Structure formats: structure tokens, C-alpha cells
Amino acid sequence: MSKEVFVTALNNSLKEIRNICPDIKCSFLFTKDGTLVAEDALTDDIAMEKAMSPLQNLTEKAVMIGDLDSFLIDGSKGKVYISYTNEIYLAMVLSNDADMLYLRSVTHVIIPTILKLLETVFPTPAKPQKLDSSLQLFVDNLSGLRSRFIGDTVEIGHETRNQLLDLLNGGDVNEVEIEAFNGKKARCKVKEIEDSELEKKSLIRIPEKTIQALEVKKGELVKVRPITSKDLNVASKELKKEESPDYNYDIISTFGESQSVMWRILKK
Amino acid sequence: MKMSNNSKSEEEIQNLRRNLEEIKAREGVLGYILRASTSAAVDIKDPSKIIGYAALSASVLESGEEISKIFNLGEIKTILLEGADTKILSLITDDHRLSIFMEKKFDHKELYADLSLS
């Protein structure tokens, strides 16, 4: 299903929810990374965009308590209620005397049902696009302490790794070449991790330093190609060509089908 | 004590502190952070969570105030954040900002009533 149809269906759903719950002044749906998915017609676009930054900040910090499940601001003139369902946040601006129990029961039933229905009728394009010798994956940044310790290693999900293995026709995937659409390339080691988000959104989590080198941003597509033994042979030949006048390079051994090569530097 | 920007007497704040001491001893209450403009009282049962809870408390209050302004919600009475197994009830009284951490099943409405803030 095209994105437009999906968004229109959700926009209409929000409108219908407002029709049965007049206490809802406006509502919108957004994802954890701060992307607006849908809104009802009464939502003030500027207000919604302004709200995304504090909301994103909050969803990130809520990891401390096992992610945001719900958030309610009770003010003297109205309320804002945010709830999480099916990997999406529903934000509603409510009148002061809104019946929260009724709203919770309505939204916790209707929104998941609509999302499930839309996914069933029109599966969303969550799978990575397969090219001849590479996959297209979305960039996610690997930041914080983990980024420091992981070096030049990228993280992918189990299914993505299997798809890379298919491209290799045998062997193992321990290293990949990432190519941005600006032509910049980087070679990284690969680590498979258990993370449903990586699988569902076709993400590749790349250390900040490599992201900068590739000149890409979070959410952009990159081509990911597994490194083969052929690549390593070419690399070794290239290296031989560029021999230093003082040193020779000699391959001692290779590991696995397509992996690391151990070099010996010999003084002439 | 009334939730407003009016000045609260020192006695009322002392009363709040006494109530907090009583509340934190209850099973299911994980602790609290009470911040004033120049001081803070932090009492979290699990010391390893103090820094994380302090950051989360600040984020809840800041985000709450910001969103409240954006959507014109008026004066904030309470802010409630619920996670997988923990929830936080935050309040702003004068220059005091309070966050109480508790297990998700804990009745925060009863706790709010016991704070004698309304």
C-alpha cells in the first residue's frame, strides 16, 4: 500500500474517533523517532511540530522505566494524553472533563484494530529491498557508550543477516561494504543482535563516526553488500601493487570463506 | 495546600515533606525527588537508579510544561508517566517540583490524595 493511502486511512480513523469521543479536541500519531504518521483535521500543524521535540525527548528518557506506555498531563484548562500501541504513539488533546476510562478503552481497542487491519489488508513495505548484490537498509545511529566500544562494527538483525548470506551463496557474513547514495563507501564488521526494531524497520545501526564518514543521516537508505573472498583477493593484489620500497606484504592466512586476512610485513 | 503559583508557606512545604516520608515507606513506592530552586531532596530506595530517575524526572516535568504551553492546558495539576512496570507522578507547586516513583499497580490517585495538596 502506498504511504499516502495508509496515512489517509489513519487520518480518517482519528476523525471518526473524535466523532465518537467529543472530548478529543485533536489527535495525532507519531513514532518513537519523532516522525508524524497521521493527524486529524483539527490538529494545529505548528503546535504539533513544536510538541514533537519534547515528546521525542520523553520517549527516549522513558527507556529507564521500560519505555513509555502512557503519559498524561492534567491541566486546569485541558489534558494531553499519549498512549503507545503497535509501535506507534497516539497523542490526544482533551477537554478538561474528558472521561479518561472511556477514552482509554476506546483508543486501546480502536487504534490497534485499525493498525492491524491496515497491515493485514495492505502489508507495509517493511522488508529490505533486495538489489543484485546488495540490500538497501535504513540508517540508524549507534551512539552513546556502546558506540565507543563497538569500533567500526555495525549492528543488523537476524533476518537481515540471512538475506546477506543469500547474496553470498555460501560462506559467512562478518564484514560488509556500506555505500551511501552520494557514492561514499565504508567497510565495517557486522554484529547480529536480537532487536525486533532492527528487523521490522530494515535498519542497520552504524557508529556515529562511520555515519559522518559516509555523510548520511538517520533514516536515509544505504546499500549494504557483504564482503566476499573475491573482494579480499582483489584487495590483497592492490596492496601488493602499492608495496613500500622498504617493506613487502605477505598473506599468512585467511579466516573463513570471505573474511579477515592476516598480513605479515617483511622488511626488504 | 492548593496547586497554584501562589506562595506556599514554609509550613506547607514541611507538611509535604512529612507526607512524603510517610508515603515512601509504603510498599510499591520506589522513592521521590523533590526539587526546589536551590536544593533537592532525593530519596530513592534503589541507589543505582538515582541518576536515571533524576534525569527522567527532569524530562517529565520539562516536557510536561512545554507541551502544556503548546496546547494551552493552563496550570498543571499533575503529570503521570507510565512505563512497563513503573510509573511517575509529578507535580509542580510554587518553585517545588516533585516526582514520586512507584510500581505501576500502585494507586497514584490515592497517593495524590494523601499528599494533601488539594
Q: Which three cell numbers mark A167?
A: 547474496
Phi-psi region of A30 (alpha: psi -120 to 50; beta: other; left: phi over 0): beta
Q: How far apart are CA A51 and CA A220, in angstroms?
A: 23
Chain A CB within 8 Å of residue B52 CB: yes
The answer, yes or no, to whether residue A263 has pLDDT greater than 50, is: no
Note whether A55 contacts B68, CB cutoff 8 Å.
Answer: no
Distances (CA, A) of A73 to A14, B62, B69, B72, B81: 20, 12, 11, 11, 9
At the top level of CATH, which class does the domain B10-115 belong to? alpha beta
For the beta carbon of residue B73, count every other beta carbon within 10 angstroms.
Answer: 23
Integer Rg of chain B from CA: 13
The answer, yes or no, to whether residue B3 has pLDDT greater than 60, is: no
The answer, yes or no, to whether residue A249 has pLDDT greater than 50, is: no
Closest C-alpha to B92, from B56, B117, B55, B72:
B117
Chain A CB within 8 Å of residue B95 CB: no
Percent of chain B surpassing pLDDT 90: 64
Which of A67, A77, A93 comes nearest B84 by C-beta?
A: A67
pLDDT digits (tens, 9 = 90+) for B49-66: 999 999 999 999 999 999
The answer, yes or no, to whether residue A85 has pLDDT greater than 90, is: no
Which strands sit side by side in the sheet containing A36-39, from one edge to the other? A36-39, A24-30, A88-94, A79-85, A70-75, B76-82, B86-93, B96-103, B29-35, B40-44
Q: Is the dihedral of CA A50, A52, A55, A60 positive or negative?
A: negative
The answer, yes or no, to whether residue A119 has pLDDT greater than 80, is: no
| Contact (Cβ atoms closer than 8 angstroms) between residue A183 and residue A192 | no
CA distance A4 to chain B (A): 27
The answer, yes or no, to whether residue B69 has pLDDT greater than 50, is: yes
Q: How far apart are CA A248 and CA A268, in angstroms?
A: 7
Interface-testing mutation among A71, A95, A97, with chain B (most B C-beta atoms within 10 A): A71
pLDDT score recorded for residue A229? 61
Mean model confidence pLDDT for chain B: 87
Please tell me the number of Cα atoms within 13 Å of B52 on its side-chain side. 14
pLDDT score recorded for residue B33? 95
B88: enclosing H helix or E strand: strand B86-93
Please tell me the number of Cα atoms within 13 Å of B25 on its side-chain side. 5
DSSP E strands, chain A:
24-30, 36-39, 70-75, 79-85, 88-94, 129-130, 135-142, 153-156, 175-180, 185-192, 203-207, 221-226, 247-254, 261-267
Interface-testing mutation among A73, A81, A93, with chain B (most B C-beta atoms within 10 A): A73
Chain A CB within 8 Å of residue B108 CB: no
Which range, A143-147, A201-205, A238-242, B33-37, is most confident?
B33-37
Q: How far apart are CA A152 and CA A147, in angstroms?
A: 9
Prediction pTM value? 0.60
In this structure, which amino acid lies at residue A167? L
